[in-house]
Structure 1
Amino acid sequence: MRGVLVVFACFIGCFLCLAAPVAAMERGPVTNLPLPRFVSMKASEGNVRRGPSLTHRIDWVFKRRGMPLEITAEYGHWRRVRDRDGAGGWVHYALLSGARTVLIEQDMTQVYARPDQRAQVTAAFELGVIARLGECNLDWCQVTAGGYRGWALKAQLWGVAPEELRE
Structure 2
Amino acid sequence: MKTPLLGAVLVGLLLSVPALAQDRGPVTNLPLPRFVSVKSSEANVRRGPSLTHRIDWVFKRKDMPVEITAEYGHWRQVRDRDGAGGWVHYSLLSGVRTVIVDQDMLDLHVRPDEATATTARLEMGVIAALEDCTPDWCKVSAGGFRGWAPKARLWGVAPDEIRD
TM-score normalised by length of structure 2: 0.87
Cα distance in 2 for residues equivalent to 1:47 and 1:24: 28
How far residue 83 of structure 1 moved from its aligned partner, in angstroms, is 0.1
TM superposition shift of 1:79: 0.1
Indicate yes or no: 2:92 matched with 1:95.
yes
Q: Does 1:33 align with 2:30?
A: yes
User: Counterparts of 1:106 and 1:77 in 2: how far apart (Å)?
Assistant: 34
Matched position secondary structure for 1:163: coil
Match of 2:138 in 1: 141
Q: Deviations over 1:52-86 (max 9, x none)?
A: 00000000100000000000000000000000000
- Pick aligned residue for 1:57 from 44, 54, 57: 54
SS in 2 for 1:66: coil
Letter in 2 for 1:63: K
Shift of 1:148: 0.2
Question: Is residue 69 of structure 1 aligned with residue 66 of structure 2?
Answer: yes
- Partner in structure 1 of residue 147 of structure 2: 150
Give the TM-score normalised by structure 1.
0.85
Structure 1: 4+ residue segments shifted above 6 A = none
In structure 1, runs of 5+ residues without a counterpart are: 1-22
Q: What is the SS of the residue equivalent to 1:150?
A: strand
Identity across the alignment (%): 72
Q: 1:25 to 1:162 in 2, by over 3 A?
A: farther
User: Within 1, Cα distance between the matches of 2:125 and 2:151?
Assistant: 15
Give the letter aligned to residue 100 of structure 2: L
Q: How many residues align?
A: 145
Q: What is the deviation of 1:95?
A: 0.2
- Rounded to whole Å, the distance in 1 between the matches of 2:152 and 2:45 is 28
Shift of 1:126: 0.1
Alpha-carbon separation, structure 1, partners of 2:70 and 2:159: 20
In the TM superposition, residue 90 of structure 1 has moved relative to its aligned partner by 0.1
Offset, 1:25: 6.8
Distance 1:36 1:140 in 2: 21
Q: RMSD of aligned C-alpha atoms?
A: 1.0
1:134 deviation in Å? 0.4
